[in-house]
């Protein structure tokens, strides 16, 4: 145990916080790594037609993008070595491996993810899943599950059903639930004349695809305010999905980047959790019109986990990262964002929530503000270092060397 940690331990003990306990709890919170930072959300499908857009685009062309699932998995292995604490992997349907054959999205099966399952097993990493409702000719109109054409809608319903079966297969093999998150890009650039029909159709489609209960497959729906090509109208808005999820007893997913640019999600958590049983957090960082910058240890992130700690709501929240930046080393992008997320979790677990809440209850608002300010300069860095040591992961300022070596040895050869 280092001297700085011993010092930190007593500094936190003075505000009645047990740093050992906080480290243990922080390392145990699962973070689901988004698989799509590694290849710029391109995926590994075998396609007949060319790529289509649909609300998502990574910018930048830093060398070393993973071009195959094997390369991607090699990259995740590197990431696992650099991020402390419990991790899962969140896979998108377009990361299917179909051995050179064209398999359309409605025909996907668990066998197309056999290598992913084997990898998860080998590394002790549980898998989550996402249907891919974009980058497909049938998403070109900007509508999928809410398309007015019955045939298109049916295709996407069938895709979601196929994906739910895959999540159930993951759950079965890993002996624990697999979260499946449904996000669709549906919406329009400009004022629609009819906002109603698509929303009615979306509710209908969701009911159809959720009809069958599948053991271990845990469904969430993700809302958005605006996206590329859906600047004015998004069918699956916050009001739509939070109401839908609540009325159907499924989960609701809050992405940190899916709100008005000045809006943050920390204040929403205690509101939703009065009524919803659980939330999925997509940890991201919005900048102006982009919702997916590399996550950093900023107030927006810290406040989210502080809220969870202050409400003792860790068991009601699942955490998954969601961002993509193709302009920098992708392993570093992963590591920075995942370490920042873990740091924010640890920092929240070191919050003197009980004492702050007592001060507030006693009407001592000056005392509350003073303590909130004072804890900001406690020696958090030493506790974080200790958490890294205990997890057998390099400390800050030590992991980047490993990334640069990996870049020279592996990424530069691609
Ligand atoms: C898009 C959503 C969604 C995606 C992934 C790739 O705005 O945030 O979660 O980022 O499905
Ligand atoms: Zn998201």
Q: Where are the domains of the chain?
A: 28-349
Best mutation site among 55, 142, 159, 183 for ligand 1 pocket (most ligand atoms within 8 Å of CB): 183
Is 224 a pocket residue for ligand 1 (Cβ < 6 Å)?
Answer: yes
Q: Establish whether 222 is a catalytic residue.
A: yes
Best mutation site among 282, 283, 293, 325 for ligand 1 pocket (most ligand atoms within 8 Å of CB): 282
pLDDT at res. 55: 65
How close is the Cα of 392 to the center of ligand 2, in Å? 30
Residue from 45, 292, 385, 407 carrying the catalytic annotation = 292
Q: Establish whether 112 is a catalytic residue.
A: no
pLDDT at res. 47: 81
Residue from 75, 97, 219, 322 carrying the catalytic annotation = 322
Is 223 a pocket residue for ligand 1 (Cβ < 6 Å)?
Answer: no
Q: Establish whether 136 is a catalytic residue.
A: no
How close is the Cα of 221 to the center of ligand 2, in Å? 10
Per CATH, which fold does 28-349 belong to? TIM Barrel (3.20.20)
Is 12 a pocket residue for ligand 1 (Cβ < 6 Å)?
Answer: no
Residue from 9, 222, 307, 386 carrying the catalytic annotation = 222
pLDDT at res. 51: 53
How close is the Cα of 32 to the center of ligand 2, in Å? 12
Task: Considering every ligand atom shown, identify the ligand nearest to the alpha carbon of residue 41 and give its number.
Answer: 1
Q: Establish whether 75 is a catalytic residue.
A: no
How close is the Cα of 183 to the center of ligand 1, in Å? 6
Is 128 a pocket residue for ligand 1 (Cβ < 6 Å)?
Answer: no
Nearest to residue 88, comparing CAs of 115, 116, 125? 125
Q: Establish whether 322 is a catalytic residue.
A: yes
Residue from 77, 290, 355, 389 carrying the catalytic annotation = 290
Residue from 75, 255, 307, 385 carrying the catalytic annotation = 255
pLDDT by residue, tens only, the chain of 414 residues:
789 999 999 999 999 999 999 999 999 999 999 999 999 999 999 987 555 555 688 999 999 999 999 999 999 999 999 999 999 999 999 999 999 999 999 999 999 999 999 999 999 999 999 999 999 999 999 999 999 999 999 999 999 999 999 999 999 999 999 999 999 999 999 999 999 999 999 999 999 999 999 999 999 999 999 999 999 999 999 999 999 999 999 999 999 999 999 999 999 999 999 999 999 999 999 999 899 999 999 999 999 999 999 999 999 999 999 999 999 999 999 999 999 999 999 999 999 999 999 999 999 999 999 999 999 999 999 999 999 999 999 999 999 999 999 999 999 999
Is 40 a pocket residue for ligand 1 (Cβ < 6 Å)?
Answer: no
Atom of ligand 1 nearest to the CA of 227: 7
How close is the Cα of 380 to the center of ligand 2, in Å? 29
Q: Establish whether 255 is a catalytic residue.
A: yes
């Amino acid at each position: 145990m280092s001297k700085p940690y011993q010092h930190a331990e007593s500094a936190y003990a003075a505000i009645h916080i047990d740093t050992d306990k906080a480290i243990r709890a922080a390392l145990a919170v699962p973070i689901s790594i988004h698989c799509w930072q590694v290849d710029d959300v391109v995926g590994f499908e075998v396609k007949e037609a060319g790529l289509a857009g649909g609300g998502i685009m990574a910018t930048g062309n830093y060398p070393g993008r993973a071009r195959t699932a094997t390369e991607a998995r090699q990259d995740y292995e590197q990431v696992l070595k650099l991020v402390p604490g419990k991790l899962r992997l969140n896979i998108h349907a377009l990361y299917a491996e179909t051995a050179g054959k064209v398999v359309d999205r409605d025909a996907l099966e668990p066998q197309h993810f056999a290598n992913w399952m084997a990898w998860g097993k080998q590394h002790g990493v549980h898998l989550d899943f996402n249907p891919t409702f974009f980058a497909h000719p049938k998403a070109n109109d900007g509508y999928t599950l809410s398309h007015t054409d019955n045939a298109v809608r049916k295709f996407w319903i069938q895709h979601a059903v196929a994906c739910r079966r895959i999540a159930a297969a993951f759950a079965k093999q890993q002996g624990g639930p697999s979260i499946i998150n449904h996000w669709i890009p549906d919406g329009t650039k400009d004022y629609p004349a009819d906002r109603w029909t698509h929303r009615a159709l979306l509710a209908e489609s969701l009911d159809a695809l959720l009809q069958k209960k599948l053991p271990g497959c845990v469904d969430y729906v993700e809302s958005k305010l605006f996206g590329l090509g859906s600047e004015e109208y998004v069918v699956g808005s916050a009001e739509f999905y939070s109401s839908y999820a609540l009325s159907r007893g499924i989960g609701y997913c809050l992405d940190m980047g899916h709100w008005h640019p000045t809006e943050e999600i920390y204040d929403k958590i205690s509101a939703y959790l009065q009524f919803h049983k659980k939330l999925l957090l997509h940890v991201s960082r919005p900048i102006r019109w982009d919702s997916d910058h590399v996550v950093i240890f900023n107030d927006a992130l810290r406040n989210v986990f502080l809220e969870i700690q202050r409400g003792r709501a860790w068991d009601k929240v699942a955490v998954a990262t969601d961002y993509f930046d193709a302009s920098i080393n992708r392993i570093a992008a992963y590591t920075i964002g995942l370490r920042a997320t873990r740091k924010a979790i640890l920092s929240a677990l070191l919050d003197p929530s009980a004492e702050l809440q007592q001060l507030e209850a006693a009407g001592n608002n000056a005392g509350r503000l003073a303590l909130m300010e004072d804890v900001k300069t406690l020696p958090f860095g030493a506790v974080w270092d200790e958490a890294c040591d205990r997890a057998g992961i390099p400390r800050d300022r030590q992991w980047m060397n490993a990334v640069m070596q990996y870049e020279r040895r592996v990424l530069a050869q691609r």
